[in-house]
Amino acid sequence: MKLEHIGIAVHSIQDSAAFYRKALGLEIFSEEEVPSQKVRVAFLKAGETFLELLEATSPDSVVARFIEKRGPGLHHLAFETSRISEKMEELKNLGFPLIDARPRIGARGHKVCFLNPKGTQNTLIELVEPHE
């Protein structure tokens, strides 16, 4: 599995993107709203991996609650898989708790699912099956 992206919870995509542009020369690769997750996301390409900036679009979103509780910063690590349903079943059989019962459509049209941080060393892990 390869690290597909690193999710970073931010107050403002534009302010955060300005930092990454000025400090590291990274530009926004794509930007979209994901209404089902109540977030706006922007992806910045950093070599083989993306940084995903997550900005809440509603005060009751998971990202808004995360920032309220922990402040902005590292939100999750996302790993690419070519067979997300099979990987979910494998992880479930190994005793890892999943947040999602089945894959859902996330940013960029990719199939995604999340593992509960209680079973992953307190790190939110996302599995991503790229949209073809």
What domains are there in the chain, each with its CATH number? 2-129 (3.10.180.10)
Which long-range contacts does 21-29 make (Cβ < 8 Å, 24+ apart)? 26/51
**Does the structure show a pLDDT above 80 at 36?**
yes
Q: What is the mean pLDDT of residues 73-92?
A: 97
Calpha distance 46→56 (Å, rounded): 23
pLDDT tens readout for residues 98-124? 999 999 999 999 999 999 999 999 999
What confidence tens digit (pLDDT) does each residue in 42-71 have?
A: 999 999 999 999 999 999 999 999 999 999
* CA–CA separation, 6 and 3 (whole Å): 8
3-state percent helix, strand, coil for the chain, nearest multiple of 5: 30, 40, 30
Residue closest to 50 by CA, chosen among 9, 82, 8: 8
What per-residue confidence (pLDDT) applies to 132?
74
